[in-house]
Chains A and B, each alone.
Chain A
Amino acid sequence: MVLESLRQPMEDGVITVSRANAASTYPARFMLVGAMNLALRQQRRKRPGMRLHPAAIARYRRRLSGPLLDRMDIFVRMAEVRYDDLFDASASAESSAAVQRRVNDCRRIQMERFKGAGRYANAHMTQKEIVRYCRLDEGADKLYRFEFARRGMSGRGNARTLRLARTVADLEKSPLIREEHLAEALQYLAADGFVREWS
């Protein structure tokens, strides 16, 4: 229930608190990071044949309502922590400094884009701005038409996907959103039937 009351601020960036004699609205802009097990009593070790009952899984996932899931922009499945990873002294693929550089470059592009509009990130794009800045190239357009129909996307889903794709393209310093940018963005969307049907 507490989670559900986040719906308004997540969507509108404000929260309205009502009491008996008055209602007040406060600004509430934030970035929400959530973490959730795929299901209760997740097996820690992968034992072959140990599977969870689909009904139990559905029951657990139902705790997130559809509207709440719809407001989440990115879904990432985390791998299990393996012992060797924790103590692996060898350097990871990229240094944090390199990643930071890339993020900062991307940020700069966005700040430039929204200069004077009082915004600084793709996440804050209005519908008009989405239409203006999120242009798809031919391949991306074809892909998007197909996925849009297949998923039965809502307006919110559309906005979310394009903002995400715009950021992916910015990371690659590409003015147009190309097919591979859109394809990558599509993988961050929630899986079909995350709550309802367990396949």
Chain B
Amino acid sequence: MNGGESLYRAWLKSVRGMTNLRMDVLLEKNGCAQAVYERAKTGDLIRSKALPEALYPELAKSAADGGAEALRERLEKLKIRVYCPEDEAYPPLLKEIYDPPRVLFARGNGELAKLSRSIAIVGSRNCSDYAKSMSRRIAKSLAESGVTVVSGMAFGVDAAAHEGAIASQEPMATIAVLASGADKPSPAEHTGLYGRILECGLVLSEQPFGHPALACDFPPRNRIIAGLCRGVFVAEARKKSGTWHTINFALDGGREVFVLPGRAEDPCCEGSNEMLREGAALATKAEDILERFEGWHKKPQKLKETRSFTDEEKRVVSCLKQADMPADDLFEHTQLPMNRLLSLLTNMALQGIIERKSCMEYHYIMEG
């Protein structure tokens, strides 16, 4: 799979100035990527008026430098596999979209061939805590039912979705599609998350190694996210959010769209509520998504013993259910003496009822 045509496709993709359309033209004129490579080396490349002149010297240079061999070595070293649409393992759903990736780089313990049920979870980076909690919860629920959660590893909703899926401890729980190269976690702050995704899923990318994520790379990456899945779940989106791109790709590809409803006056979810107005399906739990697809049953959930809270704990929880807040605000609302409150918070954190965020606000961890 890494020998042969896929390797040369990968090489072709990494040539400076290469685009999908230009790749198509070259492949049409020369038969296959391997032929392009060989001919670029000897100078017999069949040209086309559709391609810019500057491309040919780049091809020649890259081929002359032993480009494909070096690439094969680096792929092996980084344990990255390459797939093209002709491969059996290439996801069938992705093949169906209008402009499928001509090359797909994959890294991680998961196997692309084993991808069967997949749902994308998308939403704003700058999102509310509610959206993050719900993304995590629904992702975990979906993963527990054997669905692979696909997202972009960005801040906000994406990261929460990946975390939720990983928490299910199912194999092939999650796939991250990056706008950067598959070897380069983007954003860099999510390097830890990237590592964990490699362990229980896959990281995919259309871009060659070391490619930094540029703003223009995100819409194409979103088409892959939508393209891999039967349905897309929107946790939250503003009026002018990049999530609209992803939704349009989904609709163009005949995929289902599910949206989490948001509070009426909250600008965070103006976009997602608008999507609901335009006819997207409403979803507040994993079952809402699962029941749309034939045969995707929800696994029976292990009976969770619900804790009973002490009075003091109830006061804290009822505050935190409204919003995350720092200790001072909790003190004001609960009127508990400060030292009592602080030690209570430590204990509740110990039991996993709440957690303290890096900005020193406390957050109530919802069950499920």
Contact = CB atoms under 8 A, between A and B. Distances in A.
Contact of B356 (A51, A79, A184, A191): A191
A53 B124 CA distance: 11
Nearest to B270: A49
Interface in B323-363: 326-329, 339-340, 342-347, 350, 356-361
Q: Interface on chain A toward B: helix, strand, loop, or mixed SS?
A: loop
Contacts of A168: 339
Chain B contact patch, size range? 20 to 34
B126 A53 contact: yes
A194 B357 CA distance: 8
B189 A197 contact: yes
The residue among A49, A51, A147 with the most chain B CB atoms within 10 A of its own CB is A49
Given A180-B343, A187-B346, A191-B358, A196 B189 contact: yes
Interface string A165-182: 000100010000001111
A77 B187 contact: no
B73 interface: no
A191 B187 CA distance: 22
B326 A197 contact: no
B358 A184 contact: no
Nearest to B363: A199
Contacts of B128: 49
B266 A184 contact: no
B125 interface: yes
B350 A143 contact: yes
Contact of A184 (B126, B127, B346, B361): B346
A148 interface: no
A49 B268 contact: yes
Given A53-B125, A55-B187, A79-B329, A183 B342 contact: yes
A199 B346 CA distance: 19
B155 interface: yes
B192 interface: yes
Nearest to B355: A199
Interface string B263-278: 0011110000000000
B329 A54 contact: no
Given A184-B342, A187-B345, A198 B189 contact: yes
Given A183-B347, A186-B346, A199-B358, A51 B340 contact: no
Given A54-B155, A183-B347, A191 B359 contact: yes
A38 B358 CA distance: 10
Contact of A194 (B189, B339, B358, B361): B358
B155 to A, nearest CB: 5
A78 B357 contact: no
Contacts of A48: 265-268
B357 A191 contact: yes
A198 B358 contact: yes
A192 interface: yes
A183 B312 CA distance: 16
Given A55-B189, A183-B343, A199-B358, A77 B155 contact: no
A54 B361 CA distance: 15
A58 interface: yes
Interface string A6-21: 0000000000000000
A193 B191 CA distance: 14
List the 4 shortest-distance A-B pairs measured between CB atoms, nearest first.
A183-B343, A183-B346, A77-B360, A79-B328
Interface of B: 125-128, 155-156, 187, 189, 192, 238, 265-268, 326-329, 339-340, 342-347, 350, 356-361
25 contacts: A38-B360, A49-B238, A49-B267, A54-B156, A54-B187, A54-B189, A55-B155, A55-B189, A58-B189, A77-B326, A79-B329, A168-B339, A180-B343, A181-B343, A182-B343, A187-B327, A187-B342, A187-B343, A191-B359, A192-B358, A194-B358, A195-B358, A197-B189, A197-B358, A199-B358
